Amino acid sequence: MSETPLIVLDRVCKQYGTTPVLRDCSLTVARGEIVVVCGPSGSGKSTLIKCINGLEPYQSGSVRFDGEEVGARTTDLPRLRSRIGMVFQSFELYPHMTALRNVMLAQVHALKRPRAEARARSLDLLARVGLADRAEAYPADLSGGQQQRVAIARALALDPIAMLFDEPTSALDPEMINEVLDVMTGLARDGMTMVVVTHEMGFARKVANRVVFMDEGRIVEDRPSEAFFGAPVTERARVFLSKIIAH
Amino acid sequence: MHYQFDWSQVWQHRDLIFDGLLVTVALSVASLVPTLIIGMLIGTLGASGSRAARTAAGLYVEGMRNVPLLIHMYVWYMALAFLRLPPFACAVLGLTLYSSAYVAELVRSGIGAVPRGQARAAAASGLRPWQALLLVVYPQALRIIAPSLASLASQLIKDSSLASVIAVAELSYQAGAIEGQTFRTFEVYITIAVLYLALVLLVSFAIDRIPGLRDAPSVGRIADA
């Protein structure tokens, strides 16, 4: 394991027009670390993790991934992104392709892997997320939980060195949440570096090394998860936790 | 009404009608191909993030489709007279410019109907913008606009009749010529009406059977997913 942290955000600021979305956000994620980002809606969590792979531009500050400045003009963003897996709240599987082709697409066209190899790798990954028998199914024929697991397989197919999860279970029925969290827990156990935006505090408590709490575009707490759940320092985090854990 | 139908006159001129039919088919095909290509390009510009590209696409669309096709025919025929282009080429140009504006609007709305998250997911997986467009956005957009594209193709076939005004010897032009010789107005025009109808039906039938367009797995997505 290398000494340099994999992801470094340094005083990142972003605004839409005059509305600030991120204010001076600094965050460091070491290799193999699992960081959960939580906070009320509109606090900038999704925007923050989308800065890591350059899906969201930012106005000032710096984002470095594996030593490379994400916002620099000279950065080959597609190449950088092919080393980061991303999973979205709304799955975003390609509806005109089977599960298998969804997982194959970026391997063939971004990584230039030979088709046969990409196919074999995809089938392995679909088996890993428990969907070996659904390879030929179209997204519309899969349940939400199955779609999200295909999306995770699709992200893993790039052999990423980090995974970003943007509220991966928020669009799921309660009984499907666990099948997705189980896959994520398995990944965490295998040592994947993960940044997860989620309200699943059970998952955060069990799996995360650190919890980052955001409010109004600021990172207001960033602490080891036991310490965070034991006693949040800020009043805002305490109120937030009591609200989402109460029921 | 004591009109006596006499179809023998039409039958006598069947070779002219057949020639006209061939020219109509050739004119339609020669116009449809560049219409689709230009329409795709302009429509894609119209859906792009760049304001300059959108403005340019908008100017093209408004400029081309708000001029009657008849005027397009005359303008290109007269304006390009110094090039001594054959009338057929001028008709292809007029039809292409006019119809491609409609295709551009279809393509633009089709791209707009594909959720933005799709291109975003493609970008996140390391695909380059042109790959995301080609592999993820176009296939979905085309399925959405396929029925409208099919009706545009039949519109173009019918519109090709206006090429008769610049002396392209297509079906309507030949009908006029035969009518002028035989005065069998009804017979001649009923005949070519049936031929146009058959041609358009044939095209619709063929487009309906393009694999992947009708049996496409629902592209419509779960709205709140």
Residue B47 φ/ψ, nearest 5 degrees: -100, 5
Q: Where in chain A is the domain with CATH 3.40.50.300?
A: 1-83+161-247
Using one digit for the tens of pLDDT, what is the confidence trace for B154-208? Answer: 999 999 999 999 989 999 999 999 999 988 889 999 999 999 999 999 988 888 7
C-beta atoms of A111 and B117 within 8 A: no
Using one digit for the tens of pLDDT, what is the confidence trace for B3-55? Answer: 888 888 889 989 999 999 999 999 999 999 999 999 999 999 999 989 999 99
Q: Count Cβ atoms within 10 A of the Cβ of residue B129 and give its class: 0-12 exposed, 13-18 middle, 19 or more buried.
A: middle
pLDDT at B144 over 50: yes
pLDDT for res B214: 55
Q: Which candidate from B120, B143, B225 shows the least CB-CB separation from A55?
A: B120
Distance CA B192, CA B225 (A): 52
Q: Which CATH number fits domain A1-83+161-247: 3.40.1800.10, 3.40.50.300, 3.40.50.620, 3.40.50.2000?
A: 3.40.50.300
Distance CA A66, CA A161 (A): 9
**Residue B136 distance to chain A (closest CA, Å):** 7
Mean pLDDT of chain B: 90
Which site among B118, B120, B125 would you substitute to test the A interface, given the most A Cβ atoms closer than 10 Å to its Cβ?
Answer: B125
Give contacts of B136 with chain A, Cβ < 8 Å. 94, 105
C-beta atoms of A109 and B135 within 8 A: yes
Token pair 């109004």 in the structure block, residue: A216
Give contacts of A95 with chain B, Cβ < 8 Å. 140, 217-219, 221
C-beta atoms of A95 and B221 within 8 A: yes
Chains A & B: contacts with CB separation below 8 Å: 79
**Residue A118 distance to chain B (closest CA, Å):** 14
Greatest alpha-carbon span in chain A: 55
Torsion of CA B23, B24, B27, B31, to 10 degrees: -170
For chain A, residues with pLDDT lower than 50 are 1
Closest CA to A183 of A225, A211, A155: A155
C-beta atoms of A53 and B124 within 8 A: yes
Complete domains list, chain B, with CATH: 8-208 (1.10.3720.10)
What is the full DSSP assignment across B128-175? -HHHIIIIIIHHHHHHHHHHHHHHHHHHHHHHGGGGGGGT--SHHHHH
For CA atoms A214, A216, A217, A219, give the dihedral sign: negative
C-beta atoms of A110 and B126 within 8 A: yes
Using one digit for the tens of pLDDT, what is the confidence trace for A38-60? Answer: 999 889 999 999 999 999 999 99
